[in-house]
Amino acid sequence: MKSLEMYRRIQDLIPSDPKVISSVELIDGEVWLEMRDEEHPERLATVQSAGDGWFSLATDGGFSRITVSTDPEDEEAIELVQNYIRLGVGYLKNGAEVRLVGPLKIPMLAIDPEHPDQLARMVTSEELKFVLNRFKNRFKGSTSS
């Protein structure tokens, strides 16, 4: 699916809830849907796709969920975008739970309580900073000069 077609389709998928403020932009061949909720203006959810296999949902706080699909059919692409819009609106309305996952206890955002596997990761640079700070704090004071 071409980005202009994805832009048109996303415009049709904008949440109908009048309290969800949405804007759609086509920037450098990528479609960006930004959503905020009037009742929780500090929360932000952004769905992004060029329509050709890269789909993402990002939230405030540096969390994102990315799907890469090789040459998806048009309907598959729309289903992925619809799912991300649904998750984004759910996050705006209900918030999300931060979970510490794995042996390094990396924060991930549980954005859909009905589907606990729908986790959003921190942006890689933020995740790396978190891990390095965790180790730095763990070993602070354990070395002697």
Instruction: List pLDDT tens digits, range 74-99.
Output: 899 999 999 999 999 989 988 888 88
The confidence score (pLDDT) of residue 127 equals 55
Which residues, 6 or more positions from 50, have their beta carbon under 8 angstroms from its beta carbon? 3, 6, 29, 30, 31
**pLDDT at residue 106 above 80?**
no
d(CA 138, CA 72): 44
Q: Strand pairing of 97-101 and 63-68?
A: unpaired
d(CA 51, CA 4): 9
Q: What is the strand order of the sheet 54-59 is part of?
A: 20-27, 30-37, 40-49, 54-59, 63-68, 119-122, 106-110, 97-101
Q: What is the pTM of this model?
A: 0.79
Encode pLDDT of 124-143 as tens digits: 555 566 556 656 666 665 55
| 68 vs 119, residue with greater confidence | 68
- The three-state secondary structure class of 110 is strand
The confidence score (pLDDT) of residue 43 equals 93
